[in-house]
A and B are shown apart, each in its own frame.
Chain A
Amino acid sequence: MLEVNGLRVSYGGIQAVRGITFHVNEGEMVALIGANGAGKSSTLRALSRLLDPAGGSVRYRGSEILALPPHRLVEQGIALVPEGRGVFPRMTCIENLRMGAYSRNDKSAVESDLEHVLGHFPRLKERAQQLAGTLSGGEQQMLAIGRALMSRPKLMLLDEPSMGLAPIMVQKIFEVIRAVAADGMTILLVEQNAKLALEVSQRGYVMESGEITVTDESNKLLADPKVRAAYLGE
C-alpha cells in the first residue's frame, strides 16, 4: 500500500534521514522504532508533507504522493496523528472531530461516524463541549486518534502516541490502537517505546542515525538479542 524508496531528509546541511526504503502492506501494522533523533519523526513528517524531503520516492497505492501538497493527502485516505497530538486547543472536542471530517462531503455519514467515534471513546463523549486545550494529555491523544478516524482513512500514520503520557494512559492508548488495527486499518506506527510498538505490530523496522539497520517480523525483533540490548533495556 505504501512504498518508500530511498527517502532522504535534510535540515540545512545535516542529513536526518539517509535514503531509507520500507513498505507497509494493506491491513498490517508496521512499527518504525529507534532512539531519540534516529530520524523516525522526520520520516513521518516527510511522508505527511510537513517538510520537503531532499530525495527519494513515496508511492501510495501505486502513485507518487511526494508532489502533493499536505491538504491533498487526506482525500487520498492518509491520516496523520501528529507528534504532540496537535489538537486545536480553542475548539471543542466535537469541533476537533468535525475538523477530521473537513474534506468529506457526505454529511449524514459524518454524523454517524461522529456517533461511532464518541462510542469508541466514552471519555470524549463526556467532554464533548469542552475545549480541547483543557483536556489531559491522554484525552488529547484519544481526540487526535478519533479526529484522524473521522476522515475514514485507509492508512493511518501514528507519530509517537505514547509521548509524555502516564504509563496507565499509554496502556489505554495502545488498546485503542489495537482496536483500530483489528478493524482492518493499515497503520504505520512510529514509536520510541520499542517494546509496546513491537508487541502490537506485525513487522518492524529499526532506525539508527537516519538509516534502517534491522527489519523483521515484530516477534522476531522482540526476541533478537541485539534489539533487546539496544532498545528494550536489557
Chain B
Amino acid sequence: MDTLLQQLINGITLGAVYALVALGYTMVYGIIGLINFAHGEVVMIGTMVAFTVIVSLAGSGMPLLIVLGIGLVVSVIVCMVLGWALERVAYRPLRHAPRLTPLITAIGMSIVLQNVAMIIWGRNYITFPPMIEKIIYDIGGASFTNVQVAIVSLAAVMMVGLIYLVHRTKIGMAMRATAQNPHVASLMGVDINRVIAMAFVIGSALGAVAGCMVGSYYEIAHYQMGFMLGLKAFTAAVLGGIGNLAGAMAGGILLGVIEALGAGYIGDLTGDFLGSHYQDIFAFIVLIVVLMFRPSGLFGERTGDRA
C-alpha cells in the first residue's frame, strides 16, 4: 500500500515533467508534421542555463526565491530563442523537402546541441547545490516534498495557460487553423511562418520550465540527459496521440505513473532479478505496445483530415 501511494506520487511528479516536454513535440507535429528530435536537447540546455544562472547568483545575497525565479526566466528566454533559431535555420529551408529530410536534420541538430553543451558545461555530471530547503510531508505512509508540490502545480498552471492560449486567443485560433489547413489559413490572413515559429517558441518555453523542474528534482544535470528525457516525452506524446494537446498532457502523466509503478514493483515481479534502475524499459514497452495496437494513440482518432 505504501509503495503504491508513494509511487503514484512520484509518478505524477515525473509525469508532469514528461507532459510539459511532450507538449513541445506535439505542438510542432500538429502544425508541420515534424518530429523535432532536438527538443530533448532544448530541455537539457534549459536545465544547464538555469544551473549556471542559479550558481552564479547564489553568492550574491539575493533571496533564494528571487535567484530561482531569475534562473527560470533566463532559461525560458534562452530556450525560446534557441527554439526560434532551430526552426529558422534548420527546418524552414526544408519546409517543402521530403518528410525524411527534416527528420534527419532534427537528429543532426540534437547531436550538435549535445556537443555544444558538452563544450560549455563539460562532460561530467553537474550537481546542483542543495539550495532549496526540502520540507517533507507525510500522508498515509507515503511522503512528498515541497519541490514535488511546486513541480506539479507549476506544470498545471502552464498547461491551463496553454489551453487558454490555444482556445481563447487569436494566435491560438490561428495555430489551430494552420494545423487543419495551412493554405486556407494563409488566405484568412494568417502568416504561416509566424505561427510555425510560435509553435517552436512556446514548445521550447515549456521545455525550459520542464528542464528546470528536472534539475531541481534530481539535482543533477548532464549534457546527454536530454536524449532519454526527450525519447520518453516523445513516447508520452505518441501514447496520447501525437498532434493532440490534451493527449500529450494525459500521455505524460500516464507514462510517469506507469514508469514509477514499474520501478516500484519490478523487483517483486522478477524475484529481485531486475531492480528499479531498469525503470527506463517501461517507457519503451509502452511505446512498442502503443505502436502495435493503437498507433494513433489514446486521443488520436483524427487520421482522415490531414490530407
Contact = CB atoms under 8 A, between A and B. Distances in A.
Interface of A: 48, 50, 69-75, 79-80, 82, 86-91, 95, 98-100, 102-103, 133, 147, 151
Given A74-B188, A74-B189, A151-B188, A99 B183 contact: no
Contacts of A151: 188-189
Interface in B156-195: 170, 173-174, 176-177, 180-181, 183-192
Interface of B: 170, 173-174, 176-177, 180-181, 183-192, 302, 305
Contacts of A72: 189
Contact of B186 (A71, A75, A100, A147): A71
A8 to B, nearest CB: 21
B186 A88 contact: no
A90 B187 contact: no
Contacts of A69: 186, 191
A102 B195 CA distance: 13
A70 B185 CA distance: 9
B183 A50 contact: yes
Query: Which of B176, B184, B186 gathers the greatest number of chain A CB atoms within 10 Å?
Result: B184
30 contacts: A50-B183, A69-B186, A70-B187, A71-B187, A71-B188, A73-B187, A74-B187, A74-B188, A75-B189, A80-B187, A82-B183, A86-B183, A87-B184, A88-B176, A88-B181, A88-B184, A88-B185, A90-B176, A90-B302, A90-B305, A91-B176, A95-B173, A98-B173, A99-B185, A99-B188, A102-B170, A102-B177, A102-B190, A103-B188, A133-B305
B219 to A, nearest CB: 42
A188 B163 CA distance: 40
Given A82-B184, A103-B188, 13 more contacts: A50-B183, A69-B186, A71-B188, A73-B187, A74-B189, A82-B183, A88-B180, A88-B181, A90-B176, A102-B189, A133-B305, A151-B188, A151-B189
B183 to A, nearest CB: 6
A75 B190 CA distance: 11
B294 to A, nearest CB: 20
Given A88-B176, A133-B305, A71 B190 contact: yes
